């Protein structure tokens, strides 16, 4: 059977605009491309899991509006179980305007309703037959609850640690696999070398810790040594959702009982393919594409430091 991965966090509707260069002044600009698609860390991770051959369920908070219906309909079309998506009366669903430049870099303006209830107490083990859980940190209470569920179920708990992380200390401590973006790690451990930071965090919490750094690859530590897996070389067209795709692929690989080093290669390939396509979530690949990529590309795993 396909392993089930539970994804906890935010779901968004994205309007993705393409430009040669990102706007810099208060004036009118004409985009050269437009895609309206789903977004959000956990929602994108769920789509990645589904397209890559797993089963995905999503726990998220939405408003009681037409945007919520559109978000859920898109997810259901991708095979995501949305039975744990809750809609709250009087609230609006999250939306983003995303500008992508000719190098694939993005600028995001996101609206998230501050009135959405923070509590995640409605998530419990009776909801979960998952083999892994992945959560983003945009819903701190959800992330903490998700990592506690994973610990209770003794399954991998993968945390997508992006700033702000002020309310996520418990989730970071409980995660079996805590993966920072470089920006998130620098905000969490400022003025510290990334390899030193992740090794220290892994020792402190006795978990597996990594930092993803775009085209510089992934640094990871089990608390004893720090290693580096290089990224695949591509011509990036759109980096929107690349990290979300990476985390969904990583959680699925762990659910399939792969090692962390195998999961990194799988995730790097999925994210590389996504970045080579415009359109945010629309660029997330299927399993056959990733398997073909891994069969036809090579990447060196290098030892950076050993302590």
Residue range 10-55, pLDDT digits in tens: 999 999 899 999 988 899 999 999 989 999 999 999 999 999 999 9
Count Cβ neighbours within 10 Å for each residue of 83-92 and write b for 16 or more, e otherwise. Answer: ebbbebeebb
Please state, for a pLDDT cut of 90, what percent of the chain lies above it.
Answer: 83
Residue range 220-265, pLDDT digits in tens: 998 888 999 999 999 989 898 999 999 999 999 999 999 999 999 9
Q: Bridge-partner residues for 35, per DSSP?
A: 16
Residue range 107-125, pLDDT digits in tens: 999 999 999 999 999 898 7
Cβ within 8 Å of residue 230, ≥6 positions away: 217, 299, 300, 301, 302
Q: Hey, what domains does the chain have and what are their CATH numbers? A: 42-55+127-306 (3.40.1190.20)
Contact 15, 34 (CB under 8 A): yes
DSSP three-state, residue 176: coil
Rounded to the nearest integer, the mean pLDDT of the chain is 93
Query: What is the biggest distance separating any 2 CA atoms in the chain, rounded to whole angstroms?
Result: 54
For residue 298, name the pLDDT band (cuts at 50, 70, 90): confident
Distances in Å between the alpha carbon of 132 and those of 129, 171, 250?
9, 15, 10
Contacts of 215-219 with C-beta under 8 Å, sequence gap 24+, read: 217/268, 218/264, 218/268, 219/194, 219/195, 219/304
Q: How many CB atoms lie within 10 A of CB 67?
A: 17
Pairing of strands 4-9, 12-18: unpaired
Sign of CA dihedral 148, 43, 48, 231: negative
């Amino acid at each position: 059977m396909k392993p089930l991965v539970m994804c906890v966090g935010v779901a968004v509707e994205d309007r993705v605009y393409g430009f040669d260069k990102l706007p810099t002044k208060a004036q009118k600009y004409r985009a050269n491309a437009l895609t309206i698609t789903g977004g959000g860390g956990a929602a994108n991770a769920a789509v990645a899991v589904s397209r890559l051959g797993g089963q995905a369920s999503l726990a998220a908070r939405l408003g009681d509006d037409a945007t919520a219906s559109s978000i859920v309909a898109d997810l259901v079309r991708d095979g995501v179980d949305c039975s744990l998506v809750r809609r709250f009366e009087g609230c609006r669903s999250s939306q983003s305007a995303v500008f992508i430049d000719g190098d694939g870099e993005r600028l995001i303006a996101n609206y998230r309703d501050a009135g959405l209830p923070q509590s995640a107490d409605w998530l419990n083990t009776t909801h979960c037959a998952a083999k892994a859980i992945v959560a983003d940190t945009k819903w701190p209470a959800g992330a903490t609850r998700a990592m506690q569920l994973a610990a209770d179920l003794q399954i991998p708990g993968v945390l997508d640690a992006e700033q702000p992380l002020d309310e996520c200390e418990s989730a970071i401590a409980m995660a079996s696999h805590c993966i920072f973006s470089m920006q998130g790690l620098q905000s969490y451990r400022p003025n510290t070398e990334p390899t030193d930071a992740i090794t220290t965090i892994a020792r402190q919490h006795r978990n597996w810790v990594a930092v993803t750094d775009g085209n510089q690859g992934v640094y990871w530590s089990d608390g004893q040594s720090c290693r580096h897996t290089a990224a695949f070389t591509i011509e990036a067209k759109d980096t929107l959702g690349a990290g979300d795709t990476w985390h969904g692929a990583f959680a699925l690989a762990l659910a399939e009982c792969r090692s962390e080093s195998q999961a990194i290669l799988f995730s790097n390939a999925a994210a590389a393919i996504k970045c080579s396509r415009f359109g945010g979530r629309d660029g997330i690949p299927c399993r056959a594409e990733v398997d073909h990529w891994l069969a036809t590309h090579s990447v060196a795993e290098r030892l950076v430091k050993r302590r």
